[in-house]
Amino acid sequence: MTLHAQNTPRRPRVLILGPGPKSPGGMWSMVDTALHSPLRDRYDMARISTHREGPAALRVAVAARAGALLLARLIARRPDLLWIHMSARGSVQRKALLMAIARPFRVPVIVHSHGSQFGDYYRDTTKPRRAVVRWVLRNADLVIALGPSWDARIQEMTPCTVAQVLNPVAVPATIDHDAKEPGLIVCTGRLGDRKGSATLVRAFALVAQRFPAARLILAGDGDAEPVRELARELAVEHRVELPGWVSSTDVTRLLGRASAFALPSRNEGLPIAMLEAMAHGVPCIVTPVGGIPDVVTNGHDALLVPPDDPTSLAAALTTILADESQAREMGDAGRRMVQSRCSTQIIAERLADCFDQVLADNRSDA
């Protein structure tokens, strides 16, 4: 389907409920990509921020404001579709309340599930909260899952209508292989145990013994001090950079310089950081968790290593850094995968199919 504006009296109004630009992470990145994709030409898209990082009082205030804004929009300018972005824990509770507010207005709802810890949350939380998760999933007209693995996990929670849509990523028209800096290993995204930051630093300490020019840049928000302390303990602090959160423009520049990308996560949804690196032709070393095995093939367009295994990660990094030809082939294969399956245009078309189907079903039921 081609995303051209139709000759209709007005474009369907799609109201997005999810994090705002001050909530770093893959979910906002996906929303922002959608807002700047061909979807905006076909649909009248607006957004209400439902969450912001900060103290509990601030989070409650943002959620309450979101509820008030949603109610006002439902009364004054009723949207044709609600597109709700959800992760786990508090995000589920907030989105359940917003769905309850919208329910009397009979607006169709698409719930877009992002949470890397969604399955763990459902398994470990209380029975009442599991019931809330099931209510959200069953009462959505459509649930979007980040690939086959997440589709299966959601169906285990409760039967519901699911569409599989991968995360979108902008693919540069060209890449400059000559701009790559030999030995530069990059990781982008939030620091912490879930992302395997300590595992990566330990692996880098092993790699650094063989490659005197190797450097590691971990760019992202989160608690950097334990990572910095570990680098000092392993005597590689002068070769490990922790610049904190960086802008999308800076991420693009960083990936343009990188010789390897590593993300040894313990669990994931479908990491946009990995897809961005692949789009820039950077060979990736990642773990077979979440939706990652749904999109990459070990040894072809990425290398897969077990979580919490610095030795295996170091061996994979050594493979990439020691063989420039193999690294380039793998980076090119990853770029082709993203172009064919995760480019902004392709995912926009897939989302438009989902929107149109839900809107058509809702009209037929009216």
**pLDDT given at position 116:** 84
| Triad 131, 293, 201: Cα angle to 5° | 100
Residue 4's pLDDT is 54
Burial of 1 (0-12, 13-18, 19+ CB in 10 A): exposed
**Which residues in 171-304 belong to E strands, given as ranges?**
184-188, 215-219, 240-241, 260-263, 284-286, 303-304
Same fold, 13-168+343-365 and 177-341: yes
Q: Summarize pLDDT for 80-121 with one digit per residue, the tens.
A: 999 999 998 889 999 999 999 999 999 999 999 997 889 999
Residue 241 has a pLDDT of 96
pLDDT at 218 over 90: yes
- What confidence score (pLDDT) does residue 23 get? 67
Domain 13-168+343-365 matching CATH 3.90.1300.10: the answer reads no
Cβ–Cβ under 8 Å, residues 116 and 267: yes
Q: pLDDT (tens digit, 9 = 90+) per residue, 42-64? A: 999 999 999 887 788 888 899 99
The predicted pLDDT at position 123 comes to 93
Question: What local confidence, expressed as pLDDT, does residue 357 receive?
Answer: 96
Residues 49, 66 contacting (CB under 8 angstroms):
yes
pLDDT in tens, 186-215: 999 889 999 999 999 999 999 999 999 999
Give the N- to C-terminal CA distance of the chain in Å, as an integer.
25
Which of 3.30.1490.20, 3.30.70.260, 3.40.50.2000, 3.40.50.11540 would CATH assign to domain 177-341? 3.40.50.2000
Taking only the tens place, the pLDDT of each residue in 247-257 is 889 999 999 99
Mean pLDDT over the full length of the chain: 93
- Model confidence at 366: pLDDT above 70: no
Taking the whole predicted model, whether its pTM rises above 0.85 is answered as: yes
DSSP 205-216: HHHHHH-TT-EE
Question: What is the structure's pLDDT at 24?
Answer: 63
Q: Which residues of 260-275 are buried (b: 16+ CB within 10 A; e: fewer)?
A: bbbbbbbbbbbbbbbb
Distance of CA 99 to the CA centre of its chain: 23
pLDDT for 22: 66
Across 14-31, average pLDDT: 83
Q: What is the pLDDT of residues 168-185, one digit of tens each?
A: 999 999 999 889 999 999
Please report the pLDDT score of residue 189 as a whole number.
87
Residue 362 has phi, psi (to 5 degrees) of -65, -35
Domain boundaries, the chain: 13-168+343-365, 177-341
Please indicate whether residue 362 or residue 238 has the higher confidence score (pLDDT). Answer: 238
Distance of CA 148 to the CA centre of its chain: 16
pLDDT at residue 271 greater than cutoff 70: yes
